[in-house]
Structure 1
Amino acid sequence: MKIVCVGAGSMAESMIHGWINKRIMKPEEISVMNRSDQDRLEFLHDEYGVNIVDEDKTELKDANFILLAMKPKDVAAALGGIKKKLTGNTVIVSVAAGVSIDTIQRHVGNFPVARAMPNTSAQVGKSATGVAWSKYVTKEQQHELRKLLSSIGSVTVVEEEQLHALTGVAGSGPAYLYYFAEAMREAGVANGLSAADSKKLVRQTFLGAAEMMQQEDFAELRRKVTSPNGTTAAGLDSLAENNFKDIVEQCVSAAAARSRELGKEFK
């Protein structure tokens, strides 16, 4: 199995880290390239032992998968730079938000193309990843791709149109939780905790709640911890009074809408 990562940003690094850490792939089976940042490529080589694609791009011809991991605006240029080196057995896997399978195929032809939306929790093997693929991706290629993505977390196969909503929930989701954690930490300090203690308490609270959510329904867990007229009820009442659920829905919808916009911008 050989993979070439076209683009070497945080998402590519998270996936590389996950694959190597889980021993799904060896460093020498992974190659990286980008448009101009040689220092970034050298860092990934030194940090993980992966290969840097040579000037002739010979690694592309032998690749089972090519991971497009750049900003959406850079996809067309990246495809233009590699399409002459592609073979029909290579699956192009794009993690560029909003860029459709049809758009990619207009640039490279009827290649097997898949779109995946992981998140940066891939680095610790806990990504929530969605994937959709074109009709040219064979059953065997689907199996191999799911195996790769499963090694960095859970995988949900969806219709391509559903990737916009999935991006809003899971692709961008970790950032919402980090933002909420920041707010809780700051609120703890405002109510008398030290910064260190508040951070420690928030971190463990998230960790414990995440583990509990693997076992029971979210709403049932909330009910169990909420005593009538108790402290938790007071906090939840404040969230409800301030339209917390509406805010979250607007947040996810905004991210999903931006995903759709990106798809229209880069055709």
Structure 2
Amino acid sequence: MKKILFIGAGSMAEALIQGWINQKVFTAQEIYVTNRSDKERLQFLHETYGVNCLVDAEIFKQADLIILAMKPKDAIAAMDELKAKITEHSAILSILAGIAIQTITEHLGIRPVARVMPNTSATIGMSASGIAFSNEVTTEQRTTFLQLLEAVGSVIEVDEDQLHAVTALSGSGPAYIYYLMEAFEKVGTKVGLSKDIVRLLMTQTLAGTAEMLKQSVDEPDVLRRKVTSPGGTTEAGIKALEKYQFNEAIEACIKEAEARSRSLANSK
């Protein structure tokens, strides 16, 4: 692929741009970005990454890959406007939460479409992505799409309907972890530590825990019990989490996010 065009310039688009440039998947000169009206945002992306933000009619026709990265609420209008500008040879990679492949082909015509839900950790090459393909995607294109996502993290092929769950878990997941870190920092300072010390301790704890889960053959509950001595501090903390319904809060979080993804799929 020689030219890729982002329609939309939000955080996820930026994460992919930065990740692909850092991993030398694309050069800045091969990447074009446009959006509806935020010229300051485009200028920022141009100045920061060197990508092209002056997009003329020829670029729409020449783009080998078009990435749908606008806000889901703007997707239908944007696709209807886009259809007249692009050619049949352009493949589509959608990072739109909730917008189905069928909806995309209804508005852009039958063509190869991949739907992916990455997350913003693509910026540092550590995204966790789920991907689904339309029937028109060839074996070669499937390989290319997977390679693009593997360049910025890990990617798992799923049935399209499962992307709602992927969106709720890993797509939105970084925000949940950042929210958890906010809570750690707030309470850490209340018990006498500086914010910097709390962040150092907890980022290393999170990183170490993630690596243990990757390397260990044990299930999370087994690893948890190995840390939890009877009558100890960890057990006291776990009991507090149970008292305040930690599991129920996590379940509600994921179910609400998944439901929102499904509602986006049904709104046209």
Query: 114-123 or 226-235, which moves further after superposition?
Result: 226-235
- From 227, 230, 235, the equivalent of 1:228 is 230
The equivalent residue for 2:9 is 8
How many pairs does the alignment contain? 265
Q: TM-score, normalised by structure 2?
A: 0.95
CA contact (8 A) 1:93 1:114 kept: yes
Query: 96-105 or 214-223, which moves further after superposition?
Result: 214-223
Q: Report whether the alignment pairs 1:243 with 2:245.
A: yes
CA contact (8 A) 2:64 2:89 kept: yes
What is the alpha-carbon distance in structure 2 between the residues aligned to residue 104 and residue 175 of structure 1?
27
Q: Report whether the alignment pairs 1:104 with 2:104.
A: yes
Give 1:41 deviation, angstroms: 1.2
Give CA-to-partner distance per residue, 1:137-156, whole Å, 9 cap, x none: 11111110110011111101
Correspondence list, 1:197-208, <5 A: 197-208=197-208
Q: Report whether the alignment pairs 1:264 with 2:266.
A: yes
CA contact (8 A) 1:15 1:122 kept: yes
One-letter amino acid matched to 1:195: K
Q: Report whether the alignment pairs 1:194 with 2:194.
A: yes
What CA RMSD, in Å, does the superposition of the two structures yield over aligned residues?
1.3
The equivalent residue for 2:18 is 17
Unaligned 5+ residue runs, structure 1?
none
Percent identical among aligned pairs is: 50
Detail structure 1 runs of 4+ shifted over 6 Å in the superposition: none
What is the alpha-carbon distance in structure 2 between the residues aligned to residue 172 and residue 149 of structure 1?
17
Correspondence list, 1:1-267, <5 A: 1=1, 2-56=3-57, 58-216=58-216, 217-266=219-268
CA contact (8 A) 2:125 2:153 kept: yes
One-letter amino acid matched to 1:129: S
What is the alpha-carbon distance in structure 1 between the residues aligned to residue 89 and residue 157 of structure 2?
22
What is the alpha-carbon distance in structure 2 between the residues aligned to residue 4 and residue 53 of structure 1?
11
Q: Report the 3-state secondary structure (helix = DSSP H, G, I; strand = E; otherwise coil) of the residue aligned with 1:16.
A: helix
Q: TM-score, normalised by structure 1?
A: 0.95
CA contact (8 A) 1:118 1:170 kept: yes
What is the alpha-carbon distance in structure 1 between the residues aligned to residue 225 and residue 215 of structure 2?
15
One-letter amino acid matched to 1:93: L
Give 1:49 deviation, angstroms: 1.2
Unaligned 5+ residue runs, structure 2?
none
What is the alpha-carbon distance in structure 2 between the residues aligned to residue 74 and residue 253 of structure 1?
24
What is the alpha-carbon distance in structure 2 between the residues aligned to residue 157 and residue 180 of structure 1?
28
